[in-house]
Structure 1
Amino acid sequence: MIRVRKAVVTEIASTRPGISEILVELEGEIQRAVSYDAVTGPVKVGDPVILNTTAVYKRLGTGGAHFVMANLSNTRLDVDQAGHIMKMRYSPCQVKTLAVEEPESPHYEVMQRTHRLDGAPVIIGTLHSMLAPAAAILRKLGQGRLRVAYLMTDGAALPLALSKLVFELKEKGLLQATVTCGHAFGGDYEAINVYTGLLACKAVARADVVIAAMGPGIVGSGSRYGFTGVEQGEIINAVNILGGRPVAIPRVSFADARERHKGISHHTRTALGSIALSKATVALPRLEPEKMELVLRQLEESGISRKHDVAVVGAEPVLDALEEYRVKVTTMGRGVQQDREFFLAAGAAGVYVAQDLTKNCP
């Protein structure tokens, strides 16, 4: 179930809060690895490390690197006393966090008083790459006045530090706060589940808009229900239970060679057509007539257009926003030029929400 090897650190390639990307000498070769410094301690050249090499050995796309399980130069690490909520529970890598719901938390009282989202909009995606177009257009159309929080679920990568995209969006002011929920960890705020994560975005992070999506690395199998993006439907239900306004990002592509992802992806058709039990607004970009016809037909055939409200918006400013803020983002290895409709669809929800929130503003 796990492939473990010992290696030696030869170079620190890059660092950002909570993570170091390193090179190691492993079995006579120089290979890439990732060290979560907040979990296994700081790393330096010459350190002997124990690696989980399973994903690279299996030629999976999980980061394309090994992961440090232990740094043998850090044989004694300690934690601060505050907090007792464990994430990745009962595993050798379980991490102690201070969750916003805990009595020890400085946010405990406000969380105790907060039970509703009071109509706050929540943009819900299925892929991590959807975060950038939505955040960029919210910043552009909101003229910097909208406070945006990212709620990272545990549907994919668990450490938020892995995401270069989140680091970039925060550095550029496109995201103001991050909350990690479930077993995901490393956000500005920690929450036990998606419900308290949503409430924390509103009450603690004071967000005007929440973008909820998993971190890097969706898991899929090609089967109808066997992918972690089904959580989109579950998050829609959670937002409605809490009195928010769910706005769903559909996964749209005309560049993916797989037939099941052409037009509206089967992921979206399942999450919105079968898993979501309550209504959301599905924001679509205005596309060329032939492509628009296919997408609308797929929405009808899957039952999405009967169950949810569909809003078609002009999403071209999304591409301008990505260029203006110099955000380079890819999906399945494809950039904006290769998969234009994907990024338009990912940003359409941001256009819809920004226009709604700013229409009455002077």
Structure 2
Amino acid sequence: MRLAWGEVVEVLETRLGLQRLAVRVDGRDAVAVCLPSLTGACAAGDRVLLNTTAVDLDLGTGGAHFIVARDDERGFSDASGGHIMKLRYTPLQRDVLAVEEQASEHAEALRDADDLGGVPVVCCPLHSHVLPVAAAIKEGVPDARVVYVMADDAALPLAISDAVAQMRAVGLLDGTVTTGHAFGGDLEAVTLHSGLLAAVRVLSADAVVAAIGPGVPGTGSVFGHGGVAAGEAINAVAALRGAPVAALRISFADPRERHRGVSHHSFVALGRVALARARVAVPRLEPPEADVVERALESAGIWERHERVIVDARMPDTRGVPMRSMGRSPHDDPVFFLAAAAAGSVAASLIRRPRRSRA
């Protein structure tokens, strides 16, 4: 870890839960992110302590430092009224009002809740799947309530996601739940399981997108990556009697061999981690890409464990929100986004009517 003092030069952007700042640190101009729920809001001229570690290591944080604290004798207070701590036992631990706890207005609705009632949940290995999945669900069922449940296997603050902020603005998402140590959703939940239940029982979701936040971690090892979360989500959905739908990670543009064709993340999530059966959405492709995908899934034993659903997928209408993953657009890597859209189409086909009333 590296911490350094700097000064806020200008507030570049302010949106719910996040500020983007121009700062000067180590005698150089840089960009920093402030999460006001952890430090309080910043203003030009503030002296701030920055975590510069990820930028110094050239990691995928969008090229930004993070504000750790402001040099402000007034301090900072933002009590939630709850008693559940996120980022527990770290210097930035903060209290949240968890949707399940007794002080929550929704405690009664969730106290004995243990069933999703067959609601479809798309289980994604990447955050960049959330947009095409949700857009495809909305195309299939325009008035469907779609809720994003964010696990804590990658980025922890939901506010860091530009895509989610834009999706909320254009109506592609109707609610958000952050689970585990992830924070900043419309609802805070202690576990992925209770977060899924809150999405359905409190936010009246017709369909749920379960995924990690931005910045998927990866090591090149069999299990050391964020894709494992997709398999764990399938197990959670099945345990709660929902309808798990798996989004495949497929790419023919990724230069890394382990991610070309069907990514090893999907093989591990579906072939080893997921102990419950899921519908696996496969976009209908032309040879030779179709052959590569089918041979890979067959040889990995995926169809011995899960149900194949072939989908005539197309690029969904994202209402102007740009789709990108690893710096690539649908023009660069169309199959990646078609695979995610296929999963959204499957979820849309599973939506039941009438919709549940809001708790």
**TM-score clears 0.5:** yes
SS in 1 for 2:288: helix
Retained in 1: the 8 A contact 2:80–2:97?
no
- Aligned counterpart in structure 2 of residue 301 of structure 1, from 299, 302, 319: 299
> CA shift at 1:42, angstroms?
1.1
**Runs of 5+ in structure 1 lacking a partner?**
none
- Aligned counterpart in structure 2 of residue 353 of structure 1, from 340, 347, 350: 347
> CA shift at 1:360, angstroms?
11
Q: State the alpha-carbon separation in 1 of the partners of residues 247 and 217 from structure 2.
A: 18
1:152-301 to 2 correspondence within 5 Å? Answer: 152-301=150-299
Retained in 1: the 8 A contact 2:316–2:341?
no
SS in 2 for 1:334: coil
Q: State the alpha-carbon separation in 2 of the partners of residues 94 and 320 from structure 1.
A: 39
Q: State the alpha-carbon separation in 1 of the partners of residues 183 and 353 from structure 2.
A: 36
Q: State the alpha-carbon separation in 1 of the partners of residues 31 and 291 from structure 2.
A: 45
Farther off after superposition, 112-121 or 239-248: 112-121
Retained in 1: the 8 A contact 2:135–2:316?
no
Retained in 1: the 8 A contact 2:119–2:350?
no
- Structure 2 residue 336 is the aligned partner of structure 1 residue 342: yes
Q: State the alpha-carbon separation in 2 of the partners of residues 356 and 55 from structure 1.
A: 41
Q: Which amino acid aligns with 1:124?
A: C
SS in 1 for 2:136: helix
Map of 1:40 onto structure 2 = 39
Q: Which amino acid aligns with 1:28?
A: G
- Aligned counterpart in structure 2 of residue 333 of structure 1, from 304, 327, 330: 327
SS in 1 for 2:238: helix
Map of 1:321 onto structure 2 = 317
Q: What's the TM-score once normalised by structure 1's chain length?
A: 0.95
Q: State the alpha-carbon separation in 2 of the partners of residues 360 and 205 from structure 1.
A: 15
> CA shift at 1:358, angstroms?
7.4
Q: State the alpha-carbon separation in 2 of the partners of residues 360 and 152 from structure 1.
A: 26
SS in 1 for 2:317: helix
> CA shift at 1:63, angstroms?
2.9
**Runs of 5+ in structure 2 lacking a partner?**
none
Aligned length: 355
SS in 2 for 1:10: strand
Retained in 1: the 8 A contact 2:157–2:184?
yes
Retained in 2: the 8 A contact 1:284–1:313?
yes
1:68-147 to 2 correspondence within 5 Å? Answer: 68-73=67-72, 75-80=74-79, 82-143=81-142, 145-147=143-145
> CA shift at 1:258, angstroms?
1.2
Q: Which amino acid aligns with 1:51?
A: L
1:60-75 to 2 correspondence within 5 Å? Answer: 60-73=59-72, 75=74
> CA shift at 1:259, angstroms?
1.3
